[in-house]
Amino acid sequence: MKHHRLLARCAIAATTLFAALSTAWAADKPNVVILATGGTIAGAGADASKSATYQAAKVPVDKLIAGLPTLSAVAQVRGEQVFQIASESFTNEHLLTLGKRVAQLLKQSDVDGVVVTHGTDTLEETAYFLNLVIHSDKPVVVVGSMRPGTAMSADGMLNLFNAVNVAASQDAHGKGVLVTMNDEINSGRDVSKMINIKTEAFKSPWGPLGMVVEGKNYWFRLPAKRHTINSEFDIEKIETLPAVDIAYGHGNVSDTAYRAFAGQGAKAIIHTGTGNGSVSNRVVPALRELRSQGVQIIRSSHVNAGGFVLRNAEQPDDQYDWVVAHDLNPQKARILAAVALTKTQDSKELQRIFWEY
């Protein structure tokens, strides 16, 4: 009997010690919050052989976390379901709600980093928006997947593990908002979805910032443009975003879309030109007219891998009082224009902002 009581006491003591050690061990881990918004990374399909046929935004964040128990080896992780939508349905209001929640969390002493799970269709827009308006040097990592979790060779779990690993890392501080996909760490400012059926879909024309290999970050370059803590924009001071629309240039293009957007209240129009942001002679008169009415005209390019628009090349931007988008693609130019217009209506100031961000 004494032997049994002794064994029982030893078992209780061991359990208590293990619990204390576990608590102490967990306290040493960084605290990472996963904000879930839906998308393919939360998608599910009926057939494991189908990687492109599925329903997005089906799996809640608690199940995503529960399905990846190795996260506990990297950080103390908790999740919040901010939205549960496919990212093509993201609006300016979604951006503002998400941005404000990210900012709130990063102010907390018990939050060391934030991960945002996101659909890939507009992931690059959200990442760039956060890069512009979040005033913190703590890591913010946006992540998605190209295949739902039900597909063979699904990429979401490794992408999420890498995202948490980066968000929990001291060496990720001060590098702006990041995107971890396919083992690469890209700047939210540069990266774009280049193809829709491969796991290596997200690329930067200027190359990744680094890689994540077996839980270790390897860095190769730093972002050169202004971001986060050095940005003049602050999510806490932005309540609405002005309407900015994108019109696509092509052979035989007309001015119909430009006039329609302006008629619906667009404060700026991103012209998605061919090559160096070229503008058809059929469209130039309408754009000059709209600019005289106060609509900002911003020339960008639909060249996928690094459309670089030079000022006063192709068009006399100084004469027409137009702005060029520098190397930003049309969708990122829309984000920057909307954010910038919350502070200025001056085209020269807008051009400065496009050079700096």
Domains of the chain: 30-230 (3.40.50.1170), 243-356 (3.40.50.40)
Query: Which of 16, 23, 37, 40 is the catalytic position?
Result: 40
Binding site annotation covers 87?
yes
**Strand duo 184-187 + 210-213: pairing:** antiparallel
Degrees, nearest 5: CA angle 258-259-265: 95
Nearest to 34 by CA among 60, 73, 70: 60
> For residues 352 and 336, what is the distance between their CA atoms, to the nearest angstrom?
12
Q: Which two tokens stand for residue 149?
A: 């979790």
Q: What DSSP character marks residue 4?
A: H
Give the type of residue at 113: G
> According to the model, what pLDDT value does residue 20 have?
41
Q: In Å, what is the CA distance from 102 to each residue of 10, 34, 47, 119?
A: 46, 10, 35, 17
> For residues 196 and 189, what is the distance between their CA atoms, to the nearest angstrom?
20
- For this structure, is 150 an active site residue? no
> According to the model, what pLDDT value does residue 44 have?
76
> According to the model, what pLDDT value does residue 306 have?
64
What are the b/e assignments for 10-24, b being 16+ CB within 10 Å?
Answer: eeeeeeeeeeeeeee
* Alpha-carbon 214 to chain mean position: 23
Binding site annotation covers 183?
no
> For residues 48 and 300, what is the distance between their CA atoms, to the nearest angstrom?
40
Q: Which two tokens stand for residue 25?
A: 């061990």
> According to the model, what pLDDT value does residue 27 have?
60
> According to the model, what pLDDT value does residue 43 have?
79
Continuous H helices in the chain: 2-27, 61-66, 92-106, 123-133, 156-167, 256-263, 284-292, 317-320, 330-340, 347-356
The residue with tokens 């904000």 is 35
Beta bridge partners of 142: 116, 179
Positions in the chain short of pLDDT 50: 7, 10-11, 13-25
Nearest to 230 by CA among 189, 191, 190, 171: 189
Dihedral sign from CA coordinates of 145, 35, 213, 195:
positive
Nearest to 99 by CA among 338, 352, 345: 338
> According to the model, what pLDDT value does residue 153 have?
84
> According to the model, what pLDDT value does residue 45 have?
67
> For residues 228 and 59, what is the distance between their CA atoms, to the nearest angstrom?
30
Query: Which of 37, 117, 120, 150 is the catalytic position?
Result: 120
pTM: 0.90
- For this structure, is 199 an active site residue? no
